[in-house]
Amino acid sequence: MIQTDVIIVGGGPAGATCAWSLKQNNVNCLILDQHRFPRAKPCAGWITPKVVQDLDLNISDYPYGFTTFKSFHVSIRGLKFKLRTRQHAIRRYEFDDWLLHRADAPVQVHTVKTITQVRNGYVVDGEFFSKYLVGAGGTHCPVYRTFFKTANPRAKESLIVAQEEEFPYAYTDEHCRLWFLENYLPGYAWYVPKANGYVNVGVGGKAEQLKANGDTLKNHWNHLVEKLDRLGLVRGHAFRPSGYSYYLRQNLPEVRIDNAFVVGDAAGLATLDMGEGISPAIKSGLLVAEAITHDTDYSVASIPKYSLRSLIRLGFALSFSQARGADQP
């Protein structure tokens, strides 16, 4: 049996950042991920300055494509405006691999199936033992499933479904574009041009509300493809989108039970307005590392629930739940 102090299930941003911080504090850990990195992850790859700060990332040292936007071009039910804001974009294929390498922690390709709590720790699949266990396995995390599902059930109304595709494209429009609440979409669509000639486009929205509207995400994907063609943003591309689902922030989630923790999407921490999950994943990974290193409490109360606080202060309620009644094509 392989023994270590901390087993981290999942090597995405939450798990890799937790491992990075533990390593800096001389705590041994082992990351188990079902995929060999680099691996594809459906995600627009938008990151905030907070992510850069939390990761102590010197942008000029980042070895892959990194894009900085000075504004977002936003449309809310057809009302268009330019939001001045400094934001960034990376490709998850590159970023997650870089984070994992930077953590400099042992990684094993292993799909976690069964976890048992024993007197002084946790046994994973009868092969690995640790005192602490960190669930960083995203929406379908086995740590969440085994220990947190009952204490912390996920609310159906918080489920976001999303479809996206990232591909090489000789784009001519370098603006990040966001379309909120169009065609009754309880969410938004995006166009994100990235460094080294890549584009990421997608749609995401609340699953329960789509269903209540008798609608499907596929309809909205088709609207987006038409729009991209009409606006000349992407033409002549044979689209092959990937889908994924995750949960927005819930009220007071239970994030620690004994020495088991959940972080990132496993805890359901994405922001309520934008569905931003990378920053909460990174922050929660850091907080768990701190709790384990210094034997302190772990709470997600300090992780913001909203991405665009300033917009909300101005009265733009970008909530996913406002889509019903939107009438804009």
Q: Please identify, using beta-carbon distances, which residue of 139 and 328 lies nearer to ligand FAD.
A: 139
Q: Please identify, using beta-carbon distances, which residue of 140 and 327 lies nearer to ligand FAD.
A: 140
CB of 325 to ligand FAD, least distance (A): 25
- Per-residue burial over 271-302, b if 16 or more Cβ lie within 10 Å, else e, is bbbbbbbbbbbbbbbbbbbbbbbeeeebebee
Question: What is the helix (H) or strand (E) element at residue 74, kind and residue range?
Answer: strand 67-76
CB of 26 to ligand FAD, least distance (A): 23
CB of 52 to ligand FAD, least distance (A): 12
Q: What span, in angstroms and rounded, lies between the C-alpha atoms of 198 and 21? A: 31
Question: 192 forms bridges with which residues in the sheet?
Answer: 200
Could you give the angle at which helices 13-24 and 278-294 cross, rounded to 10 degrees? Answer: 30
CB of 229 to ligand FAD, least distance (A): 20
Block residue for tokens 């300090």: 302
- CB-closest chain residue to ligand FAD: 277
Q: Is 226 left (phi over 0), alpha (psi -120 to 50) or beta?
A: alpha
Q: Please identify, using beta-carbon distances, which residue of 53 and 327 lies nearer to ligand FAD.
A: 53
Q: Please identify, using beta-carbon distances, which residue of 51 and 323 lies nearer to ligand FAD.
A: 51
CB of 327 to ligand FAD, least distance (A): 26
Q: Please identify, using beta-carbon distances, which residue of 40 and 317 lies nearer to ligand FAD.
A: 40
CB of 244 to ligand FAD, least distance (A): 4
Q: What is the maximal distance between C-alpha atoms in the chain? A: 62
Q: What span, in angstroms and rounded, lies between the C-alpha atoms of 30 and 36? A: 14
CB of 54 to ligand FAD, least distance (A): 12
Residues that bind ligand FAD (CB under 6 A): 9-15, 32-35, 41-46, 111-112, 136-138, 140-142, 162, 164, 202, 204, 244, 246, 264-266, 270, 276-279, 281
Q: What span, in angstroms and rounded, lies between the C-alpha atoms of 153 and 149? A: 5
Q: Please identify, using beta-carbon distances, which residue of 36 and 80 lies nearer to ligand FAD.
A: 36
Q: Please identify, using beta-carbon distances, which residue of 42 and 253 lies nearer to ligand FAD.
A: 42
Block residue for tokens 């400099």: 104
Question: 244 forms bridges with which residues in the sheet?
Answer: 162
